[in-house]
Amino acid sequence: MDASTSLIRYDAARMALAECGLVYFVQRPSTGAVKIGHSRDPLRRVRQLQTCNDETLRFLGLMKGGRGMERLIHQRLARTRLSGAWFSWSNELACLIVGVTTPKATLLRLADMAA
């Protein structure tokens, strides 16, 4: 799949989910810390975050849901909160990202969109 097809797939997913927004997961590789945020355009948001970081952030994935879903995830992972919306890597977080604990969630991994 070429880059233009990947962009079309991303745009289709973004448009379909824009009504409620998306929860995104971004990791700082050196520490393993994961930022959990929400946006209607998460790739743009990640680019904005990147300008404030001295290392390349790793985009882990997206989940259907807006601010409310983000809050629920923050509450669920409260014991691993580092600061603000940044959390320590944990088994619970890993399961959430791969959809194991949320089988009905729509999880779109960047690898799937870029493949």
Higher pLDDT, residue 1 or 94: 94
Which position has the higher pLDDT, 11 or 57?
Answer: 57
Q: How far apart are CA 73 and CA 78, in angstroms?
A: 8
Structure tokens at 43: 């790739």
State the burial class of residue 113 (Cβ atoms within 10 Å of its Cβ: 0-12, 13-18, 19+).
buried
Question: Higher pLDDT residue, 1 or 47?
Answer: 47
Of 8-17, 70-79, 84-93, the least confident: 8-17
Q: What is the pLDDT of residue 9?
A: 55
Residue 41 has pLDDT above 60, yes or no: yes
pLDDT at 85 over 80: yes
**Residues 35/86, Cβ–Cβ less than 8 Å:** yes
